[in-house]
A = this chain, B = another copy of it.
Amino acid sequence: MIVPLRDAVSELVRDGDVVALEGFTHLIPSAAGHELVRQGRKDLTLIRMTPDVIYDQLIGMGCARKLVFSWGGNPGVGSLHRLRDAVENGWPRPLELEEHSHAGMAAAYAAGAANLPFGVLRGYRGGDLPSRTRVGVVVCPFTGEALAAVPAHRPDVGIVHAQQADRHGNVQLWGIAGVQKETVLASKRSIVTVEEIVDELEPRPNGVVLPSWTISAVAHVRGGAHPSYAAGYYDRDNEFYVAWDPVSRDRGTFLAWMKRHVLDTADVEEYRASLAEEATAA
């Protein structure tokens, strides 16, 4: 149940899989994303409401053939240059887009968790998005009103980061919870990385508990949400997001950065050491 991240990724994620890494600003599973890069996963369909730095990295390293998303940017900073390069120039490979609204993505995850084939919402009305995405119509049998239907997300693998697991692999996260519960419950297989393994989970305000039997593998990855944050453990590395902008603008700079900090590091500990070394040198 509790395994090294490397083993979890190699056993549970296959080339061509539909993979969702979720975490809404908080608890973004970056270390797991880096492990996908290290293991050279390719042809992935990546789902995520808010693709940010970690998806920029996965896309720039050519891991993805398709992106399903609702907002793709560097929050508070600007563009994701690797995402843009893939969409605008097909580099390093063309990237198919399936674009939704936040409300649609959230409804699609909730439908997946509930084992329904679609989610219903008042949305996708007017504008150009409906003609560019997968959306259908259902009609209320009582009122005759037409509503939008989005196809449920049912990822092959759902990956999230949480604060704690106990030794049996029961997981608790707290604070802003995003769509993480839905991501795990909607997925065929799931990986949860955690900051800490504890003897017993203490119930918390705004706590979300996922019993071990809903999860395929738990990996202990301290700092695994960097550069996002883990409430109670560490703050958001706002400077990293700002620094990502120049790194990611240039293909060569980006590739060198990824080689140095991801490909040439074995795990999150080495990744952190590598970033610290660079900061000291600068």
Task: Contacts A137-B141, A138-B141 given; indicate if A147 touches B116 (C-beta within 8 A).
Answer: yes
Q: Which of the candidate stretches A23-31, A83-91, A190-198, A199-207 sits at the interface with the other chain?
A: A199-207
A149 within 8 A of B: yes
A142 to chain B, nearest CB (A): 5
B-chain residues with CB within 8 Å of residue A138 when the two chains form the complex? 120, 138-141
Total copies of this chain within the assembly? 2
Measured in the bound complex, the distance between the Cα atoms of B144 and A151 in whole Å is 12
Report the bound CA distance from A207 to B208 in whole Å: 11
Q: Is A229 an interface residue (CB 8 A)?
A: no
| Contact indicator per residue, chain A 201-221, by CB within 8 Å of chain B (1) or not (0) | 001111100000000000000
| A132 interface residue per 8 A CB criterion | no
Q: How far is the CA of A243 from the CA of B7 in the complex (A)?
A: 60
Identify 15 residue pairs between A and B in the complex whose beta-carbon atoms are under 8 Å apart, listed by A's number: A115-B122, A116-B121, A116-B147, A117-B142, A117-B145, A118-B120, A118-B140, A118-B143, A120-B120, A120-B138, A134-B142, A136-B142, A138-B141, A204-B205, A205-B207
Additional A-B contacts beyond A134-B142, A203-B205 (5; CB < 8 A): A117-B145, A118-B141, A136-B140, A136-B142, A205-B207
CB <8 Å contact, A142 and B122: no
Chain B residues, CB < 8 A from A149: 140-142
Set of chain B residues within 8 Å of A134, measured between Cβ atoms: 142
A120 and B120 CA atoms in complex are apart in Å by 8
CA distance A9 to B120 in the complex (A): 35
**Residue on B with the closest CB to A150?**
B142
A8–B147 alpha-carbon span in the complex (Å): 36
B-side contacts of A207, CB under 8 Å:
205-206
Report the nearest B residue to A121, measured CB to CB. B116
Residue from the list B122, B136, B141 in contact with A141, Cβ < 8 A? B136
Of the candidates A121, A134, A203, A205, the one having the most CB atoms from chain B within 10 angstroms of its own CB is A205
8 A Cβ contacts from A114-135 to B: 115-118, 120-122, 134
